[in-house]
Amino acid sequence: MSTCSPAWPFVGRGAAMDQIRRDLDDRSLDAVVVSAPAGTGKTRLAREVARAAPTAPLWLQASPAAASVPLGALADVVDVEDSNAAFRQVEAAAARAGGLVIVDDAPHLDPQTADLLHRLVSAGATTVLATARSGEPVGRWLEWLWLGERTRHHELDPIDEASIETLVATVLADVERSRQLDLARTLEARTGGNALFLRELLTALARRHRDGLELEVEAPPHLMRVLQARLEDAGPGVSRSLQTAAILGAVALSAARRACSDEAIDAAEQDGWLIVEDGPRAMARPAHPLYAEAALAALSVAERRRLTRTVATAVLDDHGSTGSERLHATTALVDVGSPVRVADLVSAAQSAFSALDHDLAARLAIAAIADGGGFEA
């Protein structure tokens, strides 16, 4: 996937950027930590802060690959192994950078680099701006940064619909306004305001527009391949859990357990693929619409039909299922041509009628009559 370039419009983060810049100017603070889910735009925000700074900050890129290498994040800054000499080199580099050090993906910072930064901050020589993926485990060598009284934390929200509208109007300036608004609503629903996914889908839209094709919001194949590769790395249990939740959009845990183990569901939740909503009726749903799309795209038609039957039947066999859940499950079974009990068809038709979805109600009622439903159908 491409990285953000300065040419790509920077929208929806103005207030956050202004607050972060004020915090960095606040002498009572040593550090600012910006956390957000993957792809939300925290690195782009940090780069915009760096671009607006009067002096170019010292940028350190942490990564899993360099996390086990002593001073790995400082490879371009220090050329000695002695810690005191390294400290002096980093101190000089930070001074040339106006005293601001930006650490991207900070939870992957190696202990030695973290220690040098701690010494710099403690000496009053440096202010740190760190980015982190939400929920990423933090090593004890970074507790001074995460838990310090002089650290301020910011959690980035998704890009809001108004900002998406602005972005669409900028990128697709010659598209009529009503169509821009339709596309913005679709993009918001498909991306959930995730900046990276939004960029990828909107870039694909701009390419279709340039080529004279119909403006349909589709995830580009390379994005799907990346998501599917990540899902494969997570393991078959996680993939199955996500597919189980995605097949109906959301599913009760009691039904999900008919197709997945508790361990697999827990792993999918911990890895950020699933969201489990606790309560009297615990539900599992994909953490992002594109995660669901990528997971289901990996299934063959036959596999998808079998999974639909398994999950939808589990919902209908669960006496605790809500009317909405039963309607969705019944419709899914009808769509794949699976047998459905007449009583379930009649009940679903009534629910659809009550929801003013008369076309669906008629379709379900016709199916019930065809299967032998009587007067009630």
Considering the domain architecture, whether residues 25 and 135 belong to the same structural domain is answered as yes
Residue 370 in tokens? 């065809």
For the entire predicted model, the pTM comes to: 0.78
pLDDT band at 231 (very low <50, low <70, confident <90, very high): very high
Distances (CA, A) of 180 to 11, 175, 203, 213, 220: 16, 6, 14, 15, 19
Q: Is 272 contained in some domain?
A: yes
Two structure tokens written together for 141? 């060598």
More confident residue, 376 or 188: 188
Kindly write down the DSSP assignment for every residue of 253-312, as one continuous string.
HHHHTTTS-HHHHHHHHHTTSEEEE-STT-EEEESSHHHHHHHHHTS-HHHHHHHHHHHH
Within-domain flag for 9: no
Q: How confident is the model at residue 80 (pLDDT cuts 50, 70, 90)?
A: confident
What integer is the mean pLDDT of 78-88? 82
Q: In this model, does residue 94 exceed pLDDT 70?
A: yes
Q: Judge if 23 and 147 occupy the same domain.
A: yes
Can you tell me the mean pLDDT for 105-114? Answer: 95
Same structural domain, 38 and 143: yes
Domain end marker among 241, 276, 298: 298
Residues 335 and 230 in one domain: no
3 falls within a domain = no
Q: What whole-number percentage of the chain has pLDDT above 70?
A: 96
DSSP H stretches of helix in the chain: 14-25, 42-52, 83-96, 111-122, 143-146, 161-171, 177-191, 195-210, 221-234, 236-246, 253-256, 262-270, 289-297, 301-317, 323-335, 342-354, 358-370
- Residue where one domain finishes, among candidates 137, 155, 173: 155
**Model confidence at 117: pLDDT above 60:** yes
Q: Tokens representing 63? A: 């990564």
108-117, 181-190, 209-218: which has the minimum mean pLDDT? 209-218
Same structural domain, 208 and 235:
no
Q: What is the pLDDT of residue 42?
A: 94
Does residue 342 form part of some domain? yes
Selection from 237, 239, 244, 241 nearest residue 313 by Cα: 244
Structural domain containing residue 287: 220-298
Beta bridge partners of 348: none
For residue 372, what pLDDT is reported?
A: 66
Residues 269, 314 within the same domain: no
In a domain, residue 6? The reply is: no
Both 140 and 18 in one domain: the answer is yes
| pLDDT band, residue 376 (cuts 50/70/90) | low
Number of domains in the chain: 4
- Band of the pLDDT at 2, cuts 50, 70, 90? very low
Instruction: Tell me the per-residue pLDDT of 23-47, one tens digit each, with 9 for 90 and over.
Output: 999 999 999 999 998 888 999 999 9
Return the percentage of the chain with pLDDT > 90, whole number: 72
Say if 1 falls within a structural domain: no
Same domain, 194 and 253: no
What does DSSP say about strands 100-104 and 58-61: parallel, antiparallel, or unpaired? parallel
Is residue 204's pLDDT more than 80?
yes
Question: Do the domain assignments include residue 18?
Answer: yes
Average pLDDT, the chain: 91
Q: What is the pLDDT of residue 159?
A: 93
Q: What is the pLDDT of residue 175?
A: 93
pLDDT score for 6: 45
Q: Based on the fold, state whether residues 282 and 248 are members of the same structural domain.
A: yes
Q: Is 39 helix (H, G, I), strand (E, B) or coil?
A: coil
Query: Do 18 and 151 belong together in one domain?
Result: yes
377 pLDDT higher than 80 = no
Inform me whether the pLDDT recorded for 371 exceeds 80: no
Q: How far apart are CA 144 and CA 281, in angstroms?
A: 40
Quote the pLDDT of residue 135: 84
Q: pLDDT value at position 247?
A: 95
Position 143 in a domain: yes
Domain at 48, CATH number: 3.40.50.300
Confidence grade of residue 373 (pLDDT, cut at 50, 70, 90): low
Most distant CA pair in the chain: distance in Å?
89
> Mean pLDDT, to the nearest integer, of 142-160?
95
Q: State yes or no: pLDDT of 5 exceeds 80.
A: no
pLDDT in tens, 261-303: 999 999 999 999 999 998 888 999 999 999 999 999 999 999 9
Residue type, 102: I
Residues 182 and 255 in one domain: no
Chain centre to alpha carbon of residue 277: 16
Query: CA distances (Å), 369 to each of 253, 347, 376, in order?
Result: 32, 13, 9
Query: How many Å apart are CA 170 and CA 183, to the nearest integer?
Result: 13
For residues 118 and 166, membership in a common domain is answered with: no
Q: Which residue has the tokens 């309607």?
A: 327
Domain boundary among 175, 195, 218: 218
- Range from 79-83, 125-129, 131-135, 238-242 carrying the lowest mean pLDDT: 79-83
